[in-house]
A = this chain, B = another copy of it.
Amino acid sequence: MSEPQTAGPQLSRGEFGLLILGLLGRREMYGYEIVAELRRSSEGAIDLPEGTVYPALRRLERDGLIGGHWVEVAGGAPRRRYYRLTTQGEKALALGREDWLRFKSAADAVLGS
């Protein structure tokens, strides 16, 4: 699976992963923040539970698309694991955006919206 065209998994496989990459394309963020930011910047339409986001972050890191590092926070607050896109992650985001655009107009064509 490497051809960016019609073959392979069809989006909706790792779609939320793409959304996370999209956020991290803006700036470094940590998991808990991603949950809130996803909700905020989608105006509540996307509200992923932590149990979805944390495993997704681990997968993305395992696959080399993002890199994480721990940051201690003053005042005894819980430490945060900040993530940023790797070079590979930036490529994946660019490809993912294309896939998304393709899928979007395809679905619109099918759904007639």
Interface positions of A (Cβ within 8 A of B): 5-7, 10, 12, 15-16, 18-19, 22-23, 25-26, 38-39, 41-48, 97, 100-113
Complex Cα distance, B45 from A104, in Å, reads 10
B-chain residues with CB within 8 Å of residue A26 when the two chains form the complex: 112
Tallying the copies of this chain within the complex gives 2
Kindly list 15 other residue pairs between chains A and B, CB separation below 8 angstroms, not including A10-B46, A10-B48, A12-B15: A6-B45, A10-B16, A22-B107, A22-B111, A26-B112, A42-B109, A43-B109, A45-B102, A46-B103, A46-B106, A46-B110, A97-B111, A97-B113, A100-B107, A104-B108
Among residues of B, the one whose C-beta sits closest to the C-beta of A38 is B110
